[in-house]
Amino acid sequence: MMKKRILSLLLAASMVFGLTACGSSGSAAHSAKKRIVRISHAQSEKHPEHIGLLAFQKYVQQHLGDKYDVQIFPNGILGDAQKAIELTQTGAIDFVVAGTANLETFTKVYEIFSIPYLFTSMDAYKAMMGDSSYMSNIYKSTDSAGFRVLTWYNAGTRNFYATKPIKTPDDLKGLKLRVQQSPASVNMIKAFGAAATPMSFGEVYTAIQQGVINGAENNELALTDNKHGEVAKYFSYDMHQMVPDMLVGNLKFLESLSPEEQKVFEDAAAESTKVELQEWDKQVDAAKKTAKEKMGVHFMNVDVSAFQKKVLPLQKQILQGNPSIQAIYQHIQEINQKYKKG
Ligand code: GCU
């Protein structure tokens, strides 16, 4: 496969040159001194995260352009999320953007975001994620896994979409739905009464098209940017999760930077989030319009509390099984309270 070839060429090059492009001859000598910094992500080049990463690249270029050459690899060409996280752990690449659901199998703390209906409003979610001093403790807690998160990106709310309408939780019974490779999300689908089929994001379109699954769950951009709206025409706003994406860095690379350089990378990350959040809001509105008008997708507002009831017992279950997230859960309850409507 093409992806595998690109990946093995890249890895072979890393082994020959170390992680630095250190060719010595001819006109390439000057640029070859730069340390190449590779970022992998699985979205398209139009996606808000890619646009955010371009801002990251620009910031590093402006401040440390003589030393570092940031290269972005979109569309999962270096591997799907799970593979790219492993590559970031070992240092074969330096950064990956991955959803916390995909990080869950590497470090249990990120299970927190897979808890269904964890946040009671988008405002509460954004307040938590935007509190960088609180989040930095979570980000650092994965050091033992060999990586550290630098920042987060908004990926909206996750909702069911399928080849037939899901209006009530009963409509989920017997459906085969794709979930992310996250044990907590698999349990959530089971609690909803559907059959969970974990697979990587890139496989979803064909799986729906071929009838291997009846649908999936995601944000609105999956319909347009990933074209799932071509094969699944019913999208239900049950809003079961808000799962952020994370910019994850290889710890050894981050620790190899001087304090001044670390600051540049941190500021670049903060800048990328600012850009991504703005772009997200713009693109979600546009995606809804396109999905509705051009792809014929029906958006349905459902009784969220009926869906909530099905999976609330799971909250306790997940918490009991994972002491590392109990304090974070409490903290989120306080934020939820603060942003309660009415
Ligand atoms: C969204 C999210 C990704 C995630 C994907 C998925 O696109 O931004 O991080 O991997 O959903 O469902 O796999």
Confidence of residue 341 (pLDDT cuts 50, 70, 90): confident
Task: Tell me the mean pLDDT in the region 208-235.
Answer: 98
CA–CA distance, 228 with 83 (Å, rounded to integer): 23
Ligand 1 atom having least distance to the Cα of 102: 10
Confidence of residue 1 (pLDDT cuts 50, 70, 90): very low
Whether 157 shows a pLDDT value over 90: the answer reads yes
Write the Ramachandran bin of 85: left for phi over 0, alpha for psi from -120 to 50, otherwise beta.
alpha
| 200 CA from centroid of ligand 1 (Å) | 9
Residues lining ligand 1, Cβ inside 6 A: 81, 99, 102, 155, 180, 201, 218, 222, 245
Whether 187 shows a pLDDT value over 60: the answer reads yes
pLDDT: is 105 or 97 the higher one?
97
Confidence of residue 153 (pLDDT cuts 50, 70, 90): very high
The residue nearest atom 9 of ligand 1, judged by CA position, is 99
pLDDT given for residue 31 in this prediction: 54
Confidence of residue 25 (pLDDT cuts 50, 70, 90): very low
Ligand 1 atom having least distance to the Cα of 98: 9
| 72 CA from centroid of ligand 1 (Å) | 18
CA–CA distance, 272 with 277 (Å, rounded to integer): 9
The residue nearest atom 7 of ligand 1, judged by CA position, is 222
pLDDT given for residue 172 in this prediction: 98
Task: Tell me the mean pLDDT in the region 221-247.
Answer: 98
Whether the Cβ atoms of residue 101 and residue 113 lie closer than 8 Å to each other? yes
Confidence of residue 342 (pLDDT cuts 50, 70, 90): low
pLDDT given for residue 30 in this prediction: 55
CA-to-CA separations, 301 to 106, 237, 324, in angstroms, rounded: 35, 5, 35
The residue nearest atom 4 of ligand 1, judged by CA position, is 99
Task: Tell me the mean pLDDT in the region 4-13.
Answer: 53
Condensed to tens digits (0 to 9), the pLDDT of residues 284-302 reads 999 999 999 999 999 999 9
Task: Tell me the mean pLDDT in the region 91-103.
Answer: 97
The residue nearest atom 11 of ligand 1, judged by CA position, is 218
Round the average pLDDT of the chain to a whole number and report it: 93
| 201 CA from centroid of ligand 1 (Å) | 6
Single pTM value for the model = 0.92
Cα–Cα nearest to 105, from 190, 183, 198 = 183
Whether the Cβ atoms of residue 163 and residue 233 lie closer than 8 Å to each other? yes
Give the residue carrying structure tokens 């250190």: 22
Q: Which residues of 36-45 are buried (b: 16+ CB within 10 A; e: fewer)?
A: bbbbbbbbee
Question: In DSSP terms, which residues pair with 152 in a beta bridge?
Answer: 246
| 179 CA from centroid of ligand 1 (Å) | 10
User: Which of 82, 186, 201 to probe ligand 1 with, by most ligand atoms within 8 A of CB?
Assistant: 201
Question: In DSSP terms, which residues pair with 236 in a beta bridge?
Answer: 160, 300
pLDDT given for residue 15 in this prediction: 44
The residue nearest atom 6 of ligand 1, judged by CA position, is 201
Confidence of residue 186 (pLDDT cuts 50, 70, 90): very high
| 99 CA from centroid of ligand 1 (Å) | 6
Whether 338 shows a pLDDT value over 50: the answer reads yes
pLDDT given for residue 21 in this prediction: 43
| 26 CA from centroid of ligand 1 (Å) | 43
Contacting residues for 237 by C-beta, under 8 A, at least 6 apart: 157, 159, 299, 300, 301, 302, 304
| 146 CA from centroid of ligand 1 (Å) | 22
Residue ranges and CATH numbers for the domains of the chain are 2-155+243-284 (3.40.190.170), 157-242+286-323 (3.40.190.170)
Ligand 1 atom having least distance to the Cα of 155: 8
| 158 CA from centroid of ligand 1 (Å) | 9
Whether the Cβ atoms of residue 226 and residue 295 lie closer than 8 Å to each other? no
Task: Tell me the mean pLDDT in the region 230-254.
Answer: 98
| 90 CA from centroid of ligand 1 (Å) | 22
Whether 19 shows a pLDDT value over 70: the answer reads no
pLDDT: is 310 or 30 the higher one?
310
The residue nearest atom 13 of ligand 1, judged by CA position, is 201
What does the DSSP assignment read for 174-224? T-EEEE-S-HHHHHHHHHTTSEEEE--GGGHHHHHHTTSSSEEEE-THHHH
